Amino acid sequence: MLKQFADLIITDNPDEITPSKETLISGYILAMYCEKGVIQFSINNQQFQAGEGDLILCSPRNLVGLYMRSPDLQSKIICASEQLFDDVLTSVLHLDSYWWQKFNFIIQNPVVHLSEYQNKLFQAYFNLMTTYMEDDDNLYRQRIIKLTAQSLAVEVLHEVSGLMPEDSAPADAPVVEISRKDQLLKEFVTLLGRPDNTNRSVQAFAEQLKVTPKYLSAICKAKSGRTAMDLITEATVRNIRYYLSQTELSVKEIAFKLHFPDVSFFCKYTKKHLGKSPLEFRSESYIRTQS
Please state which of the ranges 238-242, 252-256, 271-275 shows the lowest mean pLDDT: 238-242
Contact predicate 133/8, CB 8 Å: yes
Per-residue pLDDT tens for 222-237?
877 889 999 899 888 8
At 170, the pLDDT band (50, 70, 90 cuts) reads: very low
pTM above 0.85, yes or no: no
**CA–CA distance, 254 with 260 (Å, rounded to integer):** 9
Element containing residue 160 per DSSP (H, E): helix 141-161
Q: pLDDT at position 174, please?
A: 46
Contact predicate 251/267, CB 8 Å: yes
Per-residue pLDDT tens for 110-158?
898 988 999 999 999 999 988 988 888 888 888 888 788 878 877 887 7
Q: Return the ∠ at Cα 284 (arms to 279 and 286), rounded to 5°.
A: 95
Domains parsed from the chain with CATH numbers: 2-161 (2.60.120), 180-290 (1.10.10.60)
